[in-house]
Amino acid sequence: MMDILPADILSETLPSAVCEEQCVDCPAGACLERLRDAGLRPTRQRRMLGDLLFSKGDRHVTAELLYAEAVEAEIQVSLATVYNTLNQFTQAGLLRRIGPDGSKSFFDTNTSVHPHFYLDGDDILIDVPESLALAQMPEALPGHEISRLDIIIHIRRKQSAAQV
């Protein structure tokens, strides 16, 4: 499991350009293969947004953050296209959508089952560095099956004695 601190997420550098070659040795080639394996047509916009998403390792992004990265990389794309692409990637199993507070969605490039800390007030989602174990999974309701498990631990900064 990756050990990411909020400062690491906030200080990531943005790429100045996106590789559009279709070689299998470069990140763009890896993204191209990933899109094809997921059954998605590798359009130019999907490839470029995929390169931004997957070239930095496991991370959590919002549509707004990915859009800002695309603008910085001089990729001509609308915010609506970013949302649509993130939703398509999620439906294809390339991303996992996490909605810690019901109003904002994060998209996780690590689709494995793993817990998260959500920093209330800071709107930051990070992986829990330790592994967790459930003693027992609950039974699904009759006629249903468990489709996924999300564990989100909400945390906030401690208030200092001076603020109380």
Question: pLDDT tens, 72-112?
Answer: 999 999 999 999 999 999 999 999 999 987 778 999 999 98
pLDDT value at residue 6: 34
pLDDT value at residue 161: 58
Alpha helices in 11-73 (DSSP H): 27-37, 44-54, 63-72
Neighbouring residues of 109: CB distance < 8 A, sequence distance ≥ 6 = 53, 54, 57, 58, 59, 60, 61, 94, 95
> What's the gap between Cα 152 and its chain centre?
14
pLDDT value at residue 8: 35
- List domains and CATH numbers for the chain: 17-98 (1.10.10.10)
pLDDT value at residue 12: 32
Give this prediction's pTM. 0.74
pLDDT value at residue 75: 93
In angstroms, rounded to a whole number, what is the distance separating the alpha carbons of residues 61 and 83?
A: 11
pLDDT value at residue 73: 94
In angstroms, rounded to a whole number, what is the distance separating the alpha carbons of residues 46 and 52?
A: 10
Low-confidence ranges of the chain (pLDDT < 50): 1-26
Tell me the helix, strand and coil percentages in the chain, rounded to 5: 30, 10, 55
pLDDT value at residue 3: 36
Residue with tokens 């994060």: 106
Q: Enter the tokens of residue 161.
A: 């004695």
